[in-house]
Chains A and B, each alone.
Chain A
Amino acid sequence: MKLSHFDRFWLAEHQRQRDVAQVHPTDLDQPLNAEHSLEQQVLQRAERCAIQRNELTYVQRWHQSRRLLTLVLGVLASLLGIGTTQALLSQAQPISLLFAVGVLVLPNLMMLLLWALFALRRSKPRGITAFGLQLMYWLQRQPEQAALAASWVEHCQRQRLLTPLMAIVTHGFWLVIATFSAATLVLYLSFNDYAFRWATTILEQPQLMQWAQLIGWLPEVLFGVAVPEQGGTTSTADFSAIAGRWLTLCVLTYALLPRMLCLLGAMLVWAYRLTQLGLDLSEPGYYRVSQALQAQQRGAQVVDADAGDAAEQLVFHYARHGEGELIASLDYEADPSWNAAVSYWGVVASYTQKQALLKQLQAQPVAHLTLRVASSLTPDRSSMRYLASLAPYTQALKVVLIDAAGDTYRAQWQQLLQRYEVNYD
């Protein structure tokens, strides 16, 4: 089954609702086409999940029900249209023109006004759409179907499709009514004779004609027909013929045309919004899935791998002989109040200093070598290598770790020194 654009987004919303409720989105280990945009991938995944859960048959059934419902509503509307006209024409003759216009046009116009006032405001199924939906829910009673139906509404609301859709249903319904009542009117008036007149019980004749002029203004502008006037030169038969035509045109002007225009507008909005369908991937549900997809397809990559012989093994060999002691600070002296001892060499920080100390020790090995190390500095490979290079020129090597305020790397130093069995404090 080929899914429509609308259906694919519907299924995506359905999947989103499931994902929100779940702790971890499942099935993401199955690959998707990484070439496609994230949105496309989310749509593809939703479709795949729906197929796995065998939901496409429900989608199909939903559409069948929808068509059936449209047909039922259409038949209902046409019966209403035909019925209204028939009821009107079966009135005692001559029929009051004002009454005829009222019956054929007024309910339609009133409902149009109510629609404009209320239905446009709230994005929630109302009126005939709500009735249709209730019927749809009733037709789709199984739990899976009910869940799909709920996501259908949510999908329409999120994509702002519900308002144009409700407009299409409402205007479509009334358009069918108006079309059928106009067609019935034309049919009956064509093949039968009816008598019309201007009639009133409580209005005065001029007032009545004012109303008639008011109603007749728009048909006159549109179709150039004047309001039929009784008496004068026109005979009764002629008046009825003119009045019948005028009545038909009134139905056309006030019932058919406005609904047709509204329907057209709604359909345009609907079609436009269909082309604008999109997913907000930052919404809960989509967000997690798109994050997971990104982590999968856009994850970190090793470009220059570690060769493996990572843990460098240093060897600490010590001197057999040595004389005296020597103290030096590695990199910098962290304790400003420290009183330098006589045997203090100073700070070994630069490469030259390091080489100089090494040379001196090579010439004159010592019995005790103490290196003062600031524990706020991280241990690193070159410091450890330097310690190892000094070891052969002293009988005993000791590291004094000096703590300063704040966090220190004391534990990391201790760990490394322990590994090479170097004394520390």
Chain B
Amino acid sequence: MTEQTSAIVQLAVVGHTNAGKTSLLRTLLYTREFGEVATRPSTTRSVVAQGVWVEGRQLFSFYDTPGLESGSELFAELEQQQEQYRHDGPAQIRAFLQSPAADAYYAQEAKVLRQLLQSDAAFYVIDSRDPVLPKYQDELHILARCGRPLLPVLNFTASANNRVEEWRSALAKLGLHVVVAFDSVAPPEGGERYLLQSLATVLPSAEREIQQLISQREQERQQRVAQSLTVIAELLMDVAAQHASIASDASEAQQCRAVETFQQQIRAREQHATHAILARFAFLPEDALFDHLDAAAGRWQDDLFDQATLKAWGKDTGFGVGAGAAAGAGVDVLVGGLSLGLGTALGAAAGGLYQSWRHLGRKLQERIQGQRVLHIDAVALVTIAARQLYLVQQLSQRGHAATTAVNISEQHRFSKAQAQQLEKHLQPLLTRAPDPDRNAIRRDLEHLLTQLLAAPA
């Protein structure tokens, strides 16, 4: 018993070439960088192991194997010696592995079989778009002779022309009744959990380890989402708190330059957050594209402050745009700096807070010197919030086998009420109220974002 519980569960992933074995592993291991994935056949050529740790202890070893490509021929050869090994498949496979053909003509298949004999169980990956061909059935028969539990995984199930039912009945005829449909690029909701639970039914000795992995994965999933929402909340707070002063007598050109610099800072801050979210979901920086088709210019735009972007994302929010050089640029101008937040400033100053006095002083100074203050406008804020939320939503449904980037061009809009709520939470930062309680604002925002993620407008 103790030996069994401390052993590492060895799981091989086998199947025909291009069935998506490496892709399945990428998705199961949550890494974009495992192995090589390509449309050409025979991409994976070595057996590659990857461990999985739960709470500091290695529980699993997954093995990616080369594709089976000469199943029919090999099966025909094995059938010739069937008589000798009628009741001992593994012995037959072992004998085959000793033969010279295993090092030459069938070198690729031999690697798979050798690994399968050393594993506790295997996922047999199937391209469910293919019909059930004799060559696949031959492959399955060879694998079955290794005497290891097999869990068939029907891949490519998201494609319209899949033949899942055909495969299910063919597999049932071979005695494989537990079958999982799982698209590695667009895994179904709860698909991973179902896959692992199915594995536990074919490999009951590893039930405990599998349950541990399932609960760890669930916990990680929740953490990823929660932390991404914190990243968004921090982002919103930072951009809302960002202000820049310009002299009131500044020329139009100077104002434009100030607006430009200001926008640049906000873009950089948003990108930082995007990268943090991608990293949190174990995706790479190039996995998200923020683009939007600018109808007027007829080209793809990925700029936050592009008119079309702001219009598309802020369409339902009912906020107007500012005036002057900053008009329609996602930036608002406060003239004199005393126009907003004075009430709060005085209130808090009465409470004797040092910050309030300083704050009041700064505002008075701006007023006396006639400065203008730039800050982000509501439409741009809502745009940032909406598209980052959309990113989180997309990433949480995405398998790590995906080879194309998430396109944040869809219209995921906020309703007017939602946008106003967001703006309300950020008001103390937008208006530079003294000594804002950032923790409380973050909490409120996280709460709001959680709601929005669960039920988008």
Contacts and interface: CB of A to CB of B under 8 A. Distances in A.
Contacts of B134: 349-351
Interface stretch (B46-54, B328-336, B447-455): B46-54
Interface in B35-89: 35, 39-42, 45-51, 53, 56, 58, 63, 66-67, 69-73, 75-76
B73 A37 contact: no
A407 B75 CA distance: 30
A299 B40 CA distance: 25
Interface string B88-109: 0000000000000001000110
A38 B66 CA distance: 32
B209 interface: no
Nearest to A382: B70
A303 B53 CA distance: 19
A294 to B, nearest CB: 8
Given A303-B46, A304-B111, 8 more contacts: A38-B56, A282-B220, A282-B223, A288-B279, A303-B63, A380-B18, A381-B17, A382-B71
A304 B138 contact: no
A282 B227 CA distance: 8
11 contacts: A37-B56, A288-B279, A303-B49, A351-B73, A378-B17, A378-B41, A378-B127, A404-B161, A405-B161, A406-B129, A407-B159
A351 B279 contact: no
Interface of A: 37-38, 282-284, 287-288, 291, 294, 298-307, 310, 331-332, 349-351, 354, 376-382, 385, 404-407, 409, 411-412, 415
Contacts of A37: 56
A299 B75 CA distance: 35
Nearest to B65: A304
Contacts of A385: 70
B18 to A, nearest CB: 4
Contacts of B231: 284
Interface of B: 16-18, 34-35, 39-42, 45-51, 53, 56, 58, 63, 66-67, 69-73, 75-76, 103, 107-108, 111, 114-115, 127, 129-131, 133-135, 138, 159-161, 220, 223, 227, 231, 276, 279-280, 282
Nearest to B134: A350
Contact of A304 (B18, B46, B71): B46
Contacts of B56: 37-38
Of the listed residues A305, A378, A411, the one surrounded by the most CB atoms of chain B closer than 10 A to its CB is: A378
Nearest to A349: B134
A306 B227 contact: no
Given A351-B72, A412-B39, A405 B160 contact: yes
A293 to B, nearest CB: 12
Contacts of A38: 56
A381 B40 CA distance: 11
A381 B42 contact: yes
B213 to A, nearest CB: 15
Nearest to A350: B134
Nearest to B276: A284
A380 B129 contact: no
Contacts of B18: 378, 380, 409
Given A332-B133, A376-B130, A379-B41, A302 B48 contact: yes
Given A301-B49, A381-B42, A406-B159, A351 B133 contact: no
B45 A306 contact: yes
A380 B17 contact: yes
Contact of A412 (B41, B45, B47): B41
B223 A302 contact: no
B107 A300 contact: no
A377 B34 CA distance: 25
Contacts of B135: 331, 349, 382
A380 B39 CA distance: 12
Contact of A310 (B45, B70, B115, B161): B45
Nearest to B42: A381
A380 B41 contact: yes
Contacts of B49: 300-303
Contact of A351 (B50, B53, B75): B75
Contacts of B47: 302-304
Nearest to A309: B107
Given A37-B56, A304-B46, A304-B47, A382 B69 contact: yes
